[in-house]
Homo-oligomer: A and B are copies of this chain.
Amino acid sequence: MSKGFRTFCPEKNTWNTTLYFPTPDSFLNDWEQKIDATQQSYSALEPVERAKFLLAIQEELLLDEKQIQMKYCAESGLARSRFEMEFARVLHTIQLFASHIEAFQWQKRTEISEQHKSLLKKRIAIGPVLVMGSSNFPLAYSTIGGDSVAALAAGCCVVLKAHEMHLGTSTLVYQCILRAIEKCALPSTVFSHIVDNTYKWAQTFAQHPKIQAIGFTGSIRGGRALMDMAAGRRAPIPVFAEMGSVNPVVVDASIHPEKISEIAEKLAFSITNDAGQFCTKPGLILVHSSHQQLFEKTLLTHLATQTAVPMLHPDIFQKFEARKRAVLKVKGVSAKHAAHQQNGILGLWCLALTDLSTLIEHPSLREEVFGPFALLSPYDTNEDLQDLFTCLDGQLTLSLFTNETQTLHPSLLQFAQQKIGRVILNGVPTGVSVAEAMHHGGAYPASSDVRFTAVGPDSMLRFTKEICWQIHH
């Protein structure tokens, strides 16, 4: 019999008591027997029926909100207010997709009269999707997060690999989904919940011929491993992996000095909020040299007022410390950080200073440090930034604080068009709106497929395909 494993309580710095056991091997055979018929019957539902199912999940989540909240906080160390934000986000996502699929244009028609034929193109589910629960969003990018909702909305069965560090939260959410499945009289294989603290089940499904797409939110290493696995299959399948980003921020010369403190305050919050554990956390700040001194001073002041939060689990904390150390030991990088602990919590914010030539010289400085960390560098001209932009990888976001919003400098525009998923004018990158005009993605390694968004109703397109029905009369 396999050994059980536990989740971690960052707030108390102890392991939680509940034991979890990996999904037994016998599951696979059962799933294989049922998945074809389940996929066919689920995808055959009218959009309005799928919308009803999504809303039934929402209803069940609301019934269990309190229970979920307690597990969520005990497994993540995140505050109740963060739970509330994330829970509301899930409800909003479900609501948005439910309306979206009812209004969506699922068909296109062309009549070709001289050949007496008509073409009817229908958008349908791509097939069963493997979704990997994320570490940093125990709700909104996990069991019933963006990927699962998008896949279910599209008509795809989901195999959800629960993140091993919040199995309690995941199990509670799964029970809500199961009750909704029952209520809607659907087969339970519509949604499978996989528990595992190794790579075994993820690999099994990523390579399984019946899985037709993969959704992932996490590290570049994890995402790339899935991409390589999917590309190496006899029949490769699409992977949508939302991975790392340093989310550059530019504070340009046109900003009035009186505004600097306000901008620094917003950025201090954006860097440290929930221990900086957001894919859109600003990790690289480029400040025009005329503002450098004032900006650095006010940023440090505001950083010092932020509340310390423990990181999600010991592994993330250790990786954060290791990456931080690697960056700080580069010649030309100096650290400015609060030396004290707050309420015994480690992993406090760190701001490091450097310059453009050091950034260009050392690739490791241009890679994400996941956690409450940012690098700050002054710059003189937009032309100087050009060389840095050339060597930066694809990014989820680029933020620009400027008074000149009408005309972007060509080097910024080119960087945006080549590598960025979302450009923010006079705002911070954290806080991704779930909306139709959102694009959450970007050139590799921000995401694995630059053509799709991970957030908003358009993210459903990742898990759909089209069939043309050609009818001769």
Contacts and interface: CB of A to CB of B under 8 A. Distances in A.
Contact of A467 (B120, B410, B420): B420
Task: Classify the secondary structure of A's interface with B.
Answer: mixed
Contacts of A416: 467
A469 B235 CA distance: 36
B439 A466 contact: yes
Given A437-B119, A444-B236, A426 B471 contact: yes
Interface string A1-45: 000000000000000000000000000000000001000100100
A424 interface: yes
Interface in A433-473: 433, 435-441, 443-445, 448-451, 453, 458, 461-462, 464-472
Contact of A437 (B228, B464, B468): B468
B110 A425 contact: no
A127 interface: yes
Interface residues of A, number: 71
Nearest to A443: B235
A435 B235 CA distance: 28
Residue from the set A108, A126, A238, A440 with the largest chain B CB neighbour count within 10 Å: A108
Contacts of A420: 467
A147 B299 CA distance: 50
A427 B472 contact: yes
A470 B465 CA distance: 29
Contacts of A470: 422-425, 427, 433
A471 to B, nearest CB: 5
A464 B453 CA distance: 12
A394 interface: yes
A210 B135 CA distance: 33
A242 B424 CA distance: 38
A164 interface: no
Contacts of A438: 110, 119, 121, 468
A393 interface: yes
How many copies of this protein are present in the complex? Answer: 2
Given A127-B418, A444-B235, A464 B435 contact: no
Contact of A36 (B236, B394, B414, B471): B414
A467 B433 contact: no
Contacts of A469: 422-423, 425
Contact of A465 (B127, B448, B450): B450
A471 B435 contact: no
Contacts of A462: 451
Nearest to A394: B235
A300 interface: no
29 contacts: A40-B413, A108-B437, A110-B433, A110-B436, A110-B438, A112-B433, A117-B433, A119-B433, A119-B435, A121-B437, A126-B450, A126-B451, A127-B418, A235-B443, A235-B444, A416-B467, A417-B467, A420-B467, A421-B466, A422-B467, A423-B468, A425-B469, A425-B470, A426-B471, A426-B472, A438-B468, A441-B466, A450-B465, A453-B466
Q: Give the 5 A-B CB pairs with smallest separation, nearest first.
A: A231-B231, A119-B437, A439-B468, A110-B437, A427-B472
Given A121-B439, A237-B444, A422-B470, 9 more contacts: A108-B436, A110-B437, A121-B436, A121-B437, A125-B417, A416-B467, A422-B468, A426-B471, A451-B465
